[in-house]
Structure formats: C-alpha cells, structure tokens
Structure 1
C-alpha cells in the first residue's frame, strides 16, 4: 500500500500533465491523492500539505529566483543585450560566421545577468536573427544557433535552474554557481567553434555577399550598456564568490544595479515595471512548481520511495558510471515530453540519494544532471527552446523542423560537455575549491 500510493501519485501527475493540466496543479493533485492513500485520513493529509506549503514558500533562498529574474529582464529591455551582441560582432571581424559566433558570445555574457534561458531565447531571436537573415544565413543555421546558445543561461551563473537544484538538494547556491563557471565557458567555446567550422566546411549555410560568412557591421554599441552589465556581473557574482554577499543579498544588489542601468539607458518607470511584471509571469509558475514538488517530495519520503529506488539500482549492479548513465537516459527520455524544471522536480528527489551513495561529488552530479536535462530543452518533439525561438523570431517562413535540425549539433555538444564533467571532475570542482 505504501509503494502503491507513490505509484498512483506519479501516475496521476503524468496523466494530468499529458491531458493539459498545469504541471504544478498536477503535482498537488497527485501528491494529495497519494498522501490520502497512505494515511486514509483527510485531516492528516491536509495538515501535511498545509505544513509543507508553509515551510516551502517561506524559504529565504527562494527570494533569489524573482530578484535575479527581474534583474535580467530589466537589463534585456534596457537594450544592453543588443550592446553585447554588437560589441561581440565588432570584436570578431576576422572570424567566419561572426554573427553566429557573436550570438553565442552575447548569450554567454547575457546568461551571467539573467539566469533565465527562455528570456535569452526570446531576446536574441529579436536581436540576432534579422541581421543573420539579411546577410544570407540559412534559416536552420541561424535559428539553431539562437536556440542552442540560449540554454547557456541554464548553466552559467546566476542560473535559476541551479538555484532550484540547490534548493532541492540543500546544497550551497554560491558553490553551485562557481561550479558552473568552467563548464559554461567550455560549452560556449564549443558552440562558437562549431559555428566557425560549420561555416568553413559547409559554406552554403551562409550565402550572403558580405562574407565568406556574412560579416556585416552593426549599429555601434553603447559603451554604457557594456560597462554597466560588466559592473553588475562583477559586483554580483564577485560579491557572492568572495563571501561579501549571500546569493540572496547578491541578487538584491544586482537588481539595484539593473534598475540604475535601466534609468541610465533612458528606461521609463513604466518600462521597468513592465519588466518586473514579465518576470512575475516567468517566476510564478516556477514557485508553484516548487510548492507542488515539495508536497511530492514529502510523499516520497513518507512512502520510503528513495530507499526503494536505491535498492533497485543496487540490485542492477551497474556501478557508479552505469547508474549515472541510466539516470541520463531517463532525463533525456523525459525531455521529449516534459519541460526541464518539471523533470528536475520529478527525478532529483529520487536520484539524489542514489547519487550520494555512489560517492560522486555533489557538484559534479548537479552539473551532469543540469547539462543532460538542459539538453532536454532542445529535444523534439516538445523542446521548449525550439518553440520559444519559433514564436519569437520575426520570420513566418521558418518551420519547427528547421529549428530542430539546426539544434541537433548543440544537443550533441551539451552531452559531450556533460561527459567531460563526469570524466574530469575538476572542471566542476576547481572553482568551488577556491572559495
């Protein structure tokens, strides 16, 4: 009966989600049904849910999510993202396919102030795609570059994805941020290298006259935007890693810096307010998901499911590498049907105790998991990154199949970096060891 309650809960969560019910509500309904089956008493069930909801949403660390989200969207609306893109393009004058490489570089730097991959995808769809189309970049190559590099925001700190992982596993947010730095730089470098090689090996991906690769000059970037974003990154992340701020305090300082930058860049109070409202639309579903996931985790703990999962993996006798491989396969399979945050909330409470038992470093496991789940953002048929880019790009001729074709190399590169982090743990642990 104990195991049945958790199985019924999980079945309800998946079933309701596939029927179109919001995943947060599916978590709540499934967890409620499972807890009632476990105790057979509504007063106990509702009491547990009430306590879980109260304890979950009053967590001080949760403030990091809305603060970083508002900070990133204010910076995006200020025009600083365009400044980053134009500056990268101007710096890479001798590089083939420099608009594509500038998109990767701009996304990497933008990721350091947003933490929200969807925001990066929507922003660079408007900024980078029109000049790429104008200068002869093939649609699948351009759209794939924008969607693929947008996921850097899930890895490069201050990633909201990392914050959620840290909360679920009770790890240090600051150390997890530090762990993502080198893999994030490696992944961005790999993306840029691919764009250059692809343009050289397959010249037909860029048919414009301005290149051997379409290298136009863009409007000159505003140095205020570049310096402002740099100052915010250094102050926020440097303060967190240097021990001057907690992540929550650092996010508040970063938000203040973003507001100042917004006013300097001539944003109105109404525009800043609209950015805050848009951030609320992004953050509210995440917080609701965390609430539902907290209830789901409580059910799993009370039903002893993590212990059963651990026993199951022990019985398979796969060894640490085999166990991680099975987890990665499950994450990739779920990525075909469920969004990345939901995948994390469904699986991390089950996989985390098993990973600890294998002896894998917590930061290494976190980054491998984040990278593989990140690949799910690009996985057909429901890769959210592809849909965001398709809806945001101002090109009615662009097809979803073209976006997924363009995304395929980025999906592979993400998995390559995940393998590198597992095989070379110092990629994830070196920077945190300096803190």
Structure 2
C-alpha cells in the first residue's frame, strides 16, 4: 500500500471508530467519515457528492419492498396472530424430547417467513414463550439461548429485509436471493432442533413434562390457527417463485393479506393501525439511514482507492478460495461485535464482493454466507441485537444471555461451514428457478 493510501485508510477507519465509540448513530457516523475523507483527501465537493450519492442510493424501486415487508411483520406482531401460532403448535411439540423448547425454533422459523426481521422475530416469539417456559420450570439458559439463536432466522429465511439490501447492492435478483435462503434456513433450524432434542434426551429435566394431554382432534383443529401464517408464506413466496409478482408486488400482497387476517381476528383498531405504521416508519428510517450513509462512504472510499488497494493486497496473498472465506469470516466475526448487520453488509460489500467473485464464488451464495455471518453478529456482545431484545424481555444481564447463546453461536458456525463445503444447498432453488 502506498504511504498516502495507508494514511487515508488510517484516518477513515480511525474517524469511524471514534464516531461509533462516541455513541453517534451508525448512519450519521458513516456520513461524517465520508465527509471527512472527501474533504481532506479529495478535491471533489463533499456536499454535492453527499447529495448525489444519497439520491442514487434511494431511487431504486426495489427498496419499496423494504417498508412493506416491515409493515407486514408489524401487523402480524400486533394483531394476535403470532399468539395463535404458538397455541396451534403446542399439541404437536409438547411430548418431544426438549418439549416446548422446540417451540422457539419452529415459531421463529414460521414467523421469520413473514416478518423479515431478526429482532422482530425474537421479540414476538420471546413475548409468548419465555414467560410460559419460566412458569413450567424449563431450563432458563436453554430457553433464552435457543430463542437468541432461532431469532436470527429472521434474516436468513425469506422475505428477509437484509436480503433485499444485499441483492440491490450486489445487483443480483431479489427473488433468487429469497430462494437461496430457504434451504440454508431450514438446515439451520434443523440443526437447532437436533441439538435441543439431544439435550432433552440427555437431561429430561431441562423440559419438565406437563400434565396436559392433546388428542389428534386437538392437533388438527389447531391447524386453523396456523392457516394465516402459512397462507401468507404461500402468497408472498409463491407469487415470487411462480413469476406472478415482483418482490415489491409480493410485499404489497403480504401487507394486504396480513391486514385481512388481522381484521378477521378482530385486532385491527385505529390505534393498532397507527402503531403498525409508526413501527414500520421507525424501522425503515433506521435501515435506510444506514444504507444511504454507507452508500456515500462507499463512494468516497472508491474515489480514494481504498477498496481496490485492500482487494489487491489480499489477492496478492494467493490464498486458496476456502482460506479466503475463513479470513473473511474472521473479519466478519470481529465486525459483528461492533456493528449491526445492515452496517456490516453495506460497508464491506464493495470490498468483499469483488474478491469473492474473483475467487470463483457465486454472488448469490456469498449473500447467504454473509447473512449467516450477520446472524452470528446478532448474538455476539456488545452489539448483539437479539441479546438486547431478550434482555428487555427478561431483565437478565447481557453477558449471561450471551453465554446462554454460545452453543447456538457454534451451531451457526457449523451451518456456515456446511454451506461453504456444499454450496449447492444455497444454489439449488435459484438454479431451479432459472430452469423454469
């Protein structure tokens, strides 16, 4: 690296670290760093470039899907549909090893398929399950740890908000990204379930059996409460996969369907509608501030030549493709302790994607790999969002929750290794989509 380039990189990343350490919002921190970099190391006008970069980032039509999917999740969260989902699953799971602890996994898997958000999935399922588990005498460490791990499925199972951002920035199909997340998501949910069943067989005391008894009639009758969630999954993903709707159109269909089911559930008052809209606006504004700020910083770093220099330096190490992914994985694990998932994706993609594609990896597959890394960041302190959500629900110290989530941290690493060795797990459905 040239001395000037080294100085520029040191200043840019130093200012970013200082801004984040000072508690400045991530989006504003990115703008500050970009402004400093362009003002001191470029003759280009920082203000004009900031404005043009912001417009170039947000003008993409695909971003409209983002607030729509957020709104759909808000409606389901506030309308009582998620509580019915829990009641419908109890008769099917209560007698299995690990008992209702499996509810965290199954509920998060299903709710992830309609919410698109890790934090929303964790909060919604946790509000229902954690108090119930305490009442039944379940192992607290496993109930919180399994929720922390399973809540991350909100990023991996479509329609995922972070997948939309990745697909737009990487210029790949949102529909293909959604398809790519299905099998890895089910794989990770399956790994979690096997682990809980193993723990339940090894130590039945972690999940005391209840005296309740359910007949097959009860099980089948409860399926009607699963219907809203399953129908929404079918409408949203089926319309995209079948080529009947774009992701944005499918998101609009999902909002309409969620509204109808909430109305049928008699939980769609004016107050609830206002809360849903307010929650969607706040979440979308937070995400888009990060995206716009990162877009400006990426442009500045491109002008300064920092991504190209880092890419060249790593390529010159002549690492094998798998060693490259291990190196990137280590970087993402460190970043995950400091930044939220959206920031990690938008900040690193301009540097990481060219290296990964040059090493022969598919950008769709890399999106799934990156999202798994982001999922891990959701349960790593000090900035693990799922840990904060669970702390808010339980009052448990954050480091205790992080310790409870540690087994699921390693299970996520296992899932990441599996899809790295067998990339077809992520690429099978997108390739099937192309053949159709």
TM-score by length of 1: 0.93
Measured in 1, the distance between the counterparts of 2:149 and 2:93 equals 20
The alpha-carbon deviation at position 273 of structure 1 amounts to 2.1
What's the counterpart of residue 234 of structure 1? 234
Distance 1:227 1:314 in 2: 51
Alignment of 1:77-92 (within 5 A): 77-92=78-93
Distance 2:65 2:5 in 1: 36
For 1:178-327, list aligned pairs within 5 A: 178-206=179-207, 208=208, 210=210, 225-267=225-267, 268-327=269-328
Which residue, out of 16, 20, 28, partners 2:31? 28
Contact 1:121 1:147 in 2 (8 A): yes
Q: Contact 2:90/2:100 (CA < 8 Å) preserved in 1? A: yes
For residue 266 of structure 1, give the secondary structure of its aligned residue in structure 2: coil
CA change 1:178–1:209 in 2 (3 A) is closer
- Using the alignment, how far apart are the partners of 1:400 and 1:104 within structure 2? 21
Report deviation, 1:7.
3.8
Q: CA deviation at 1:87?
A: 1.8
Matched length:
426
Alignment match of 1:410 (pick from 393, 408, 411) = 408
1:92-122 alpha-carbon deviations (Å, 9 max, x no partner): 2431222111221011000000001101111
Residue pairs, 1:29-428, within 5 angstroms? 29-41=32-44, 44-206=45-207, 208=208, 210=210, 225-267=225-267, 268-393=269-394, 396=395, 398-428=396-426
What is the deviation of 1:216?
7.8
SS at match of 2:152: helix
Deviation for aligned residue 1:225: 4.2
Distance 1:209 1:321, change over 3 A: closer
Q: What's the offset of the Cα at 1:209?
A: 5.5
Cα offset for 1:169? 1.0
Is the CA contact (8 Å cut-off) linking 1:336 and 1:379 kept in structure 2? Answer: yes
Q: Which moved more, 1:240-249 or 1:7-16?
A: 7-16
Which deviates more from structure 2 when the two are superposed, residues 9-18 or residues 127-136?
9-18
The ranges of structure 1 where at least 4 consecutive aligned residues each deviate by more than 3 angstroms after the TM superposition are 1-7, 219-225
- Distance in 1 (alpha carbons) for counterparts of 2:213 and 2:188: 26
Contact 2:179 2:429 in 1 (8 A): yes
Given that 1:5 and 1:35 are in contact with CA atoms closer than 8 Å, whether structure 2 keeps it comes out as no
CA shift for structure 1 position 6 = 4.5
Q: Partner residue of 1:15?
A: 18
**Superimposed CA distance per residue, residues 31-70 of structure 1 (whole angstroms, 9 cap, x where no aligned partner):** 01111123235xx221111111111122111111110001
Displacement of 1:355 in angstroms is 0.7
Distance 1:350 1:147 in 2: 30
| Structure 2 segments unaligned to the other structure (5+ residues) | none
**Distance (whole Å) between structure 2 residues aligned to residue 121 and residue 255 of structure 1:** 20
Give how far 1:410 is off: 1.0
Q: Structure 1: which 5+ runs fail to align?
A: none
Query: What's the secondary structure of 1:20's corresponding residue?
Result: coil
RMSD: 2.0
Question: TM-score, length-normalised on structure 2?
Answer: 0.93
SS in 1 for 2:316: helix
1:223 CA drift (Å):
5.3
SS of 1:40's equivalent? coil
Bigger shift: 243-252 or 372-381?
372-381
Decide whether the 8 Å contact of 1:332 with 1:375 is kept in 2.
Answer: yes
SS of match in other structure, 1:128: helix
| C-alpha contact 1:3 1:303 (8 A) present in aligned 2 | no
Q: By how many angstroms is 1:176 displaced?
A: 0.5
Q: How far 1:275 sits from its partner (Å)?
A: 1.3
